[in-house]
Structure 1
Amino acid sequence: METTGLSVIPRYRWAGTIRDNVSVIVYCNDSKCGTNTKFVLLEDNGVYYLPRKEAGPPTDSNQSTAGASPSSGFALWPKAVSMLQVAENLAKSIQDSFISSLPPKLVMMTSVYVPTVRKPYHHYVFAIGVPSSAMDEAKKKGNFTTMSVADIKKLPSSELERKDIAMLAEYIAYQIKGESNLVGAIVREYGPQLVWRQVSEAQMLPDDMLIRSPGYREQDVEMFLEEFIRCSYPHSTVCLQDVKPLFNDLGFKDKENILFRALDRQRIGELDCREFVLGLAALDPLTTHGKGPAEVRCRYIFRYYDGNEDDVLEVNEVRNMVHEIAQLQGHETTPESITEKTTKALEVFGIKDGSGLPLTNFLVNVGNLRFRGTSLLFRANTSVLQHIIHKLGSTRKRQADSQFRSPESSEFLHKKLRKSIPQDHSKSCNSSSAENNGMHNRVEEDRDCSMKSVGSSSGSLPLSEGAFQSPDTSNHTLAQHTVKVRRSGQVTDIHLLLDMERAGEVCDTGLDVDDSVSQDSQGPSLLRRGRDLKSTRNRLFNRFQSVEAFNTKSLPNEMINALRFFEHGNANKPAFDWGEVDLAKLSQYIITLCSATKELMESEPRLLKLSSPCYILGDIHGNYRDLVCFEKALWRVGPHLTPANFLFLGDYVDRGAYGLEVVSYLFAQKVQAPHKFFLLRGNHEVRDIQCMFSFQAECMQKFGERLGLKVWNAINDVFDCMPLAAIVDKKIFCIHGGIPKIDGSLQELEKIPCPLSMPETQSNLAWQLMWNDPVGMEDSNEKVANELSDNDGFAFNEKRQTGYIFNQAAFSSFLKVNGLTHVVRAHEVKEVGFEIQQSGRLMTVFSSSHYCGGSNEAACILVHDYRMRIIRIDTS
């Protein structure tokens, strides 16, 4: 809103154009007014405000009187004039009669720190008392309104520019009557210190936890404060109109007023800088929905659906909330289903008579996990911090043109985006853009450099084929949420790990503390595979072209096509049945495939060195249905067209009915994409174990005893040559079982024989990699504790009756000695498909749902962009 010569209310100012401001509040100061003191207000489009002017330098040489009142022709520049003179000229610009014999009195001064320029701007409010005669004369020809304190306080918040006007009017009225206990002017200061409290974890309040929950640091809060200033300038609060564009960008189009009402905890129609930052932190998708942050978020959620602001959710308001949860979860949202879900929700809350749901009841039932799904509510559609960073980037040139811009301001704005990029690469990128036309381009160039340095290769090809160059200066971190995916690849659900930890579904994620994993100080190095497989692969495909039985150019593709026939049912054949197939020929195809796969396995090192992006899958155990689910979700178009590696941690057979099909599929993919598919050996890839369980019997059942044993032996010949461990990005150690009790370094793994037909007797190290477990609750007894203490953190694995268990001391020592940050393993079934231990550094992943008739889920882990993201597959 603007009024020529009297008030300028610029929207979305930038640091270089922010100026000090002066406002005046003119009032009647003689006895004729009595107790009903009148105050002068301007009005525009139904909104009342105080006259105001910027006090700043000329914008160019042709505007020497920039910012001056039209009647005075005086430059309102604080270095040239006093703020008292500015206030007098501003009052005179309203009416010439508003000249007081007494100098204007400062009644309020607000100082707002601007991070970009590293100094504050000020807003001065002066009170000017005039006689009632001057007020009456001015009213005859003035375009303004006079109101009493009572009149101003009656105005709704939407009709008053800021509540400060009512507060100042009341303050001046009390001073006039001599009833004010306040002396002098009101002084207020706003800056990061009001939002970011430097307190210990034990002293943190829920608000402090909320701000830190998405990973924000103090420099991030400065960026939020910068956004607040651009929205609120020249005031110390924001109203709905100020933040509508921002709320729209965050995904709340047409719901901006509802969101603002939820964030307005004081119900005054305005947000100060603290409320503004807290509200954005609560909206951030990375903010956890557990412990302290959950309570704050739930209060916001409650206000969001409490449309009539009576502190009670009516049945229809509960219904609205239930409907949004169902939508976000991808569930049915027909009126009937929503009515049913709402009825169940009311029963959970104990509401039977149609009465409302109070806040306390809501918090208790959400906190006790009786009512689920609130973690999905009240979320922005993007990271709030990243959105603000991009917004800053698009305006950096305007800031650079300003004489107020400090040299360091352009760097701290995107510091977090650059922290994982090696210095040599970032320098080379930025050197060519010193005079770039905006920080947005620099951010994009930083991303391009990052991609060139760490994302140009998938697999662990030799240098001549684009080997991965891994910057050791960066740590992998655990993503804060899990993603559930349908068979079709559609995301159906997102859960925060801290929510699941709070519910007891996972434990010790380490996300509630700062990442303290040490970093490798050595420089970048190349991850190599060991041997050049290009000639080997060409030789294999040439051989497959001569296989008469298939008569195709690609044996693996033919096998996968055959498995498609096995998977799909029709009128003549049930699903997961081979139908009318020549089993003798099929067995020969599998044996031929095994021969090709074995040759590949023999050429691989015992310890693979892989690069990200990389999907890591745990036990499959003959669950071909779930393996197909993973395929459709992760590599639907085939691994060779997917920019990621795929690492399987073993246990492909036994327990499930389709071990043969699982092995055939994995071997076919390995031969088809040897640089993408990597298979480690698990404890069930051993002949003796398979005889005890089901895989040997499965082969004989499907092919008969003679052919079945032949196929079984061919498959186990491949198992004998499988690698036993892998390292992803030089930091993440991957095995089937657990870390080994080893005296030397991981180079000892290369000494393990290949082939290894009897690992139990041929290599104790290999046996440990396949069988070891972390200490569990069942191991908590004095005998085990003593053995762990006497044996460097290792003890005999009573549950398995072979191998070892290891404790946190052994685990931490293993990471430190080998320069690792995380371990990913399989070997143990988990109810939600995964488990996280050791402060987020040890992850167990299980990729076969409903294991042995149970109810467990299937999951995998994606290592990408220095994150380890857990993906849960919907196999229902």
Structure 2
Amino acid sequence: MHPPPPPPTTTTKDRNDTKPSLSVANFYGLQPEGLKNTQHESSSTTTAATTTSPYDCYVFVIYCPNHRKVAISKPDDRPIVWLPFTTSLITSIIDDYHYTDNAYNGVMIILTDNNENQMKILRQQNHPQPFNQCQCIEIFRLQSPQTSKFVVRQTYFVELNGSSNQQFVCCQDNKHVKWIAVDELLNNYVANLWGPELIQFLRQSMKKPILQQIQEYSLEKAYHFLPREVPRNIEESILRSARLTEKDVERLYTDFVEHCYPSTYQTFESFRCYMEKFGFNRRDCRLNSLFNAFNFKNNGFLSFHELLLGLATIEPDTVHGEWRVRFIFRYYNNNCTGNLDMNEFQKMISDMNPGLSSSSSAESIDLKMKQSANEIGTKIVNGKTVITCDDFVLAIGQHRFRGTSSLCRSTKSLFLQISRAMAAKALKKSDKFHNIESIIDQFQGICLNCKEKQYRLACHSIKLDSNGSIIDVSQIINYHNNQLKSPEELAAINYSNEFQFNMESSAPNLMIKLIREFHPNKGTNKKPNGLLENDKELLWKLITALCNDMNRLLDHEDRCVRILSPCYVIGDIHGNLDDLLTMEQVLWKRIPCVGSNFLFLGDYVDRGQWSVECCLYLMAFKILCPNKVTMLRGNHEVRSLQIFYSYKKECLRKYGETMGEKIWEITNQIFDKLPISATIDGTIFCSHGGIPKSAKTLQEINQIPRKLPEPEKESPIAWEILWSDPCHQQQFIEMCNFFDIDHHDTNGYLNNIRRGTAYHFNEFATTKFLANNGLTKMIRGHEVPQQGYQFHFNDGKCLTIFSSSHYCGNQNHCALVLIDQQQQIVRIIRLDTYNKF
């Protein structure tokens, strides 16, 4: 556990006593971290109120019995899922006679998407109401850590009446709300839950009669495990061991509430967003293990006490007792079975012995693991050799198994970081009011405390010539001596020196330079030449260096990579070096100074004559711009297909049997670890082939093993993503009729008879997969449209893109896609490569 220092947190504004009425200005969908400012202007008056979370609010479970759907929040920038809510500054439910009216107004705001004209129509006495009931199902009082006063979160169950109403159409997505099937929620098919209340309230409201609950969470409960002089239990012991004071607990309680509210728990999505402030990257694979370790109740979400005890456990100086030992066991028990299998135990042994973690020491790790397992004792459960938690705790307690004390510790006190962040926040408080437009602009993230970043000065200045090429690089004067302090910054300088700006000797820069020089002499399709055919020793050194760096980069990428726009999406390359270098001249000639992100959808090899050169170029591009370039795996990045087609033959033809076989194998070892899919802005799903039948959520995709030498055998999910194709409804029905299958029973998937593997998927399957994951569109490659692109389905929610012109002698064009969230546009770009041949 070695996270870098956290970024500073953001300003939280004080709350005054002004009490505005509920209005359209109070509704913003899901905005954890609080609606810190609300302002409403009427025709005659303007009222303003500043708030800080927590704040009084109304939460709504809006259910449509006709379609069995429920309304959820719909943020613009991330697919976070929670209940829609409105804010209302009520000081006391008992004293406020109109709180029910406010709840009705809140429902109207949500159902009409703040459309005042439609609200007026629906409020008319002779007009049928769009819902049968608006019943309070929970009153939750939360003690504010800033003021010690209680705020109220009221939850209402709203059932639409389902009557025919020309003025109101149910289950219509709008700017702030979308509708999803109840069964998807109750069966846990919905990803990225911000808090578990969505499912809890829905289950509660499905029961008849609906019972009202009254709950309260106070500072007194937050202090429940505050350590006494003589600890009463193991929980108090761990807090005392971490030297936590009442003030530390109060600060964490404040931080926790501000992060989660209106939810009062942390799901995994909320947890990893929270841990970003401690320097963790959202993609850090350790976060899933940490969440499991924190969640000792094993219910899928964290309470405040679980977070408190978890953070105390990983403090640098916490005593290594039974609580920490069980925490470490949960950390490595990723399967949450309660027993460590040998793969999980091997990961623990590797972390305990970092000097043995290289591939050359695999035998040493295996020997150490067997010795340690014998020291602890193993059992056979369901045919597998495992280590139980009790045996693990006992072996450490009896000193039969040593070395675990260093595991799962932060290098710095996280509570000290929280304390400093709170002090900085207090200094930045302001009573300045803002208008509604500025509030909406300010709160574009899910959690502002977690979103705020501190910019870091680049290590070098560069000089560009008129063609955009780098001709001079210089380190910024005195930067190293005066400002650099952390190992991360020193590593950044070394990376810049070694890779990005060393145009003469670094492997990726040299590789790109050699490929550019090779291009005019590459030969023809009938007589192709190979890069460095006459200097195979140099080529092998460069390829080895590239593959080593690629391995390190890919070890930290998710199976489904999150990418932000602006982003260029590029389809199949298939060894077309001409088109690839044309893209370079048009889109990224200033390597490594590229402004946009680049996503390649796979199929870099086979069919074309320069597959070796294309995949080496893209690997070098990825190394030079690791956070800007993402390479997905295509179905041709698989050995069995390359043997059948041309990539292996190309390697052997250009470099001989021995060297060609080595080049083919080492590049395929990189292909084995490439990500399987990506999302852009949390809205667009991207893959080489399509969506998987075997998985409903992105979490399941992220659980695909990192290394897949034989994806067909090792991961049905990955194989289906690589090979599947979209199919229009009429064609889908015709195929079903041909095979005497009722298309209603297929769930939108049918065996892909054209490919001989994987599936055809129709619009129904696509819509369901996208909805499950808070997505709206998908982009894929895998097929060759004549114009370079093709839209599928009625609303064009699926787009095929192909980026290799004249594929196999065909007269197709080269195209790519630009995603620009700022302009909210998906733009098709065709490159003028058609007439170059």
TM range (shorter): 0.3 to 0.5
TM-score after normalising by structure 1: 0.38
Larger Rg: 1
